[in-house]
A and B are shown apart, each in its own frame.
Chain A
Amino acid sequence: MEKKYEIIEKQLVFLNGFLLRKYPSISDETRIELTDHLILDFEATTENGNLSQYLSNELGFIRKFVFNGVRKVKKTYRMETWSQFFSFFTDFKLLPITIFISLLFYFLNENLNNKIACLSIFILSSILFLVSIRKGMINKKALKHLGEVKFLGTEIWLPFFLVQLLAEKHIGEFITSNSYLFTVYSTFIIMYGLAALLILRKHKKIILEKYKHLLN
């Protein structure tokens, strides 16, 4: 590739400092790709070797690139959670868990009063939520600023939100009035919460391994 200019060490340090200061939450992978692109483009297009001027012209692109990186992280977590969720219905090893949960809620709704049925789903989902916080979250100071860590627990909010809906008088009454609807609704909450917890734990391991150099 043709170069008009060779970036110097001082400019490399400036560029890394600039990205770290302006976008502290981007992942290592995004930073590596962005830095490499900026260097190559700067070396190929600069007329005067002025890096500050180049960066101010590229601010729009840098912002979009970072935003895209964050969106990618969120999308990955969501897709993996849904994939894990569907596996509870398609994987023969996991299917018994799904059937057990469904039967449990059907039994609760048919045989006990609606309040107890709602209370049981609230307790179960709260346990899942607390376990997610306890076992899944990363509280290491050196990693907290990373997008991958920030968005790690976002999927657990969907089941928690659905449980809150049950507390709404009209919605709660409507859902609990039909055993089948209540069973589907409750099973979705628990299985999705479980899927989110498994993905959370999987990514926690990946992140701790990937960024162990920051922890030492």
Chain B
Amino acid sequence: MTDLQINNYTIIHPKMGNQKLYKGSLQTIILKLLASNDKMYGYEITQKVKELTKGELKITEGALYPALHKLEADGLLDVEVAKVGNRLRKYYKLTESGARETANKLEEMQEFLRTMQHLVNPKFSLE
């Protein structure tokens, strides 16, 4: 089993392949990563998630970019284009409302995890 650390809480997931469980958490994962890293670009986010989960969780580009663009359109992310080497790169960072939304989403996630722990494994619940 591999663990994905989100704000001191752990999602314990079964053998991967069950990526469906993570679908609803994609925005939270992105927001949390940006909260801890100031600014990041799309490819970096996919690699960071892979690294943090030791390759168990892979965010495909087909899922990542629509999620990033939605967060940007909703005003939760700001973009910045910077020159890196001989080419340009688009970076994402949290806006003020994005930072507030991150705190809300993480709170929701913790609540969800506590409930799930109570349900699936009452003996080892997080509380």
Q: A-side interface residues toward B, CB under 8 Å? A: 1, 12, 29, 32-33, 35-37, 39-41, 61, 64-65, 68-69, 72, 75-76, 79
A32 near B88 (CB under 8 angstroms)?
Answer: yes
- Please, which residues of chain B bring their CB within 8 A of the CB of A76? 73
A36 near B43 (CB under 8 angstroms)?
Answer: yes
A-B pairs under 8 A by CB, number: 47
Number of B interface residues in the complex (CB < 8 A): 19
**A29-B79, A32-B89, A36-B88 as given contacts; A41 in contact with B65, CB under 8 Å:** no
- Please, which residues of chain B bring their CB within 8 A of the CB of A61? 61-62
- List of 4 A-B pairs having minimum Cβ-Cβ separation, nearest first: A33-B90, A40-B43, A32-B88, A72-B69
Q: Which of B43, B79, B88 is the one whose CB lies under 8 Å from A37?
A: B43
Q: Which of A35, A40, A72 is the one whose CB lies under 8 Å from B73?
A: A72
B69 near A12 (CB under 8 angstroms)?
Answer: no
- Please, which residues of chain B bring their CB within 8 A of the CB of A41? 43, 61
Q: Which of B47, B79, B87 is the one whose CB lies under 8 Å from A36?
A: B87
A69 near B69 (CB under 8 angstroms)?
Answer: yes
A15 to B66, CA, bound (A): 22
A72 near B61 (CB under 8 angstroms)?
Answer: no
A36 near B41 (CB under 8 angstroms)?
Answer: yes
- Binary contact readout B69-106 vs A (1 if CB under 8 angstroms, 0 otherwise): 10011000001010000111110000000000000000
Closest approach, in angstroms, between the C-beta of B72 and any C-beta of chain A? 7
Closest approach, in angstroms, between the C-beta of A44 and any C-beta of chain B? 8
